Structure 1
């Protein structure tokens, strides 16, 4: 697995002490979130407009019934806050970008998907744990990190091989699963206090059986996307008797 590194723009800036340990990941996420003093507007991001279209790799969950119920319960508690709640049909884990739509031709997108189909590795299990966040979002912690980090690294390497712009380096990747986005700046403590009441909710087990290549856009209060290619995770080969 590639090494993760401190980066001031990542959240948390420092990776957990053990990326394979649920306890270490949860503690790292919660500690960083609980230290916040201010929230920020998630949507105030340079380079984005209503016309921006970016090719991204996402993990999506096809309205997994257990995750949907968990997210709905969490969002009911978050409703009094000034946050945009993510529709359960839009729950996703962002991996990395391949480039802006105007930087990639249709043939490059198709080639990227075709090669990725032979590289993405076998299906794996994740667990979504309530609950932490960042300055601009409330989100589940996800564990363990190694299979997600390995997938990010595989896709990043493929972008380099194909000469595509790609996204942020794997060293600063911090996997998470958002449930709500902050609409503006404000005191963080009311959000931290609300989130703290939700940490006793049960975690949700997830099977990651595919990765999606999408054309992402922003609409008022949400991300939306068009699915370009769905790549099944590779099947594990037979073992010797």
Structure 2
């Protein structure tokens, strides 16, 4: 059976979502079983609202992404530039389907959650991937799962277990064609000799996201500080 594209990759969550080693092993083992890289851009796209953590100002994340990108094959990938590094929490909805009043109400609800939460640390671990991308593993998951539950509830999906559909990660390159995975699996394995890096998350953003010229671009609509004393 050929590889199919799914936003839930790996299919199974790690044994311990808060243990960096467990998360990395799970991601790496799943990536090494991929039998074909797909074109990330073949997926249908519509302008949409997303809750995300942007990483363009996180110098350690930018530095690690560039070191890993330098180890990747020269062809077959679209590298993600520093200004586009991000960690998606959840898509809120499509722009043409979400009324302004619904958006405003969700922002109010999620803002209250963020004000009551505390900043948290994440570790970015090189390197694994999916059928459509190369990416960092991320741990611990607990604070991200908590954010996912909050934004899901604000969208009316408060009965969703995030572990059934959410796999936190930070992409550094997208596959731009259907191609054999071997060179990318080998490059990811080599990049694991690089040290992981830690970042501190102090803000959640709501963005309006679009896709042009093999890049994602967004306009920040709301910045919600995570700032409980």
TM, length-normalised to structure 1: 0.87
Runs of 4+ aligned residues of structure 1 deviating over 3 Å after TM superposition are: none
| Paired position in structure 1 for 2:22 | 24
User: 2:184 matched to 1:182?
Assistant: no
Corresponding residue to 2:137 among 138, 141, 152: 141
Task: Tell me if structure 1 keeps the 8 A contact 2:55–2:62.
Answer: no
| Paired position in structure 2 for 1:165 | none
User: 2:94 matched to 1:96?
Assistant: no
Task: Tell me if structure 1 keeps the 8 A contact 2:56–2:86.
Answer: no
User: 2:72 matched to 1:74?
Assistant: no
Corresponding residue to 2:80 among 86, 97, 110: 86
What RMSD in Å do the two structures reach over aligned CA positions? 1.7
Flag structure 1 segments of 5+ consecutive residues without an equivalent: 1-7, 163-167, 237-241
Deviation for aligned residue 1:161 = 7.2
| Paired position in structure 2 for 1:227 | 220
Corresponding residue to 1:124 among 120, 134, 142: 120
Moved more, 218-227 or 106-115: 106-115
Flag structure 2 segments of 5+ consecutive residues without an equivalent: 1-5
| Paired position in structure 2 for 1:12 | 10
TM, length-normalised to structure 2: 0.91
Task: Tell me if structure 1 keeps the 8 A contact 2:17–2:141.
Answer: yes
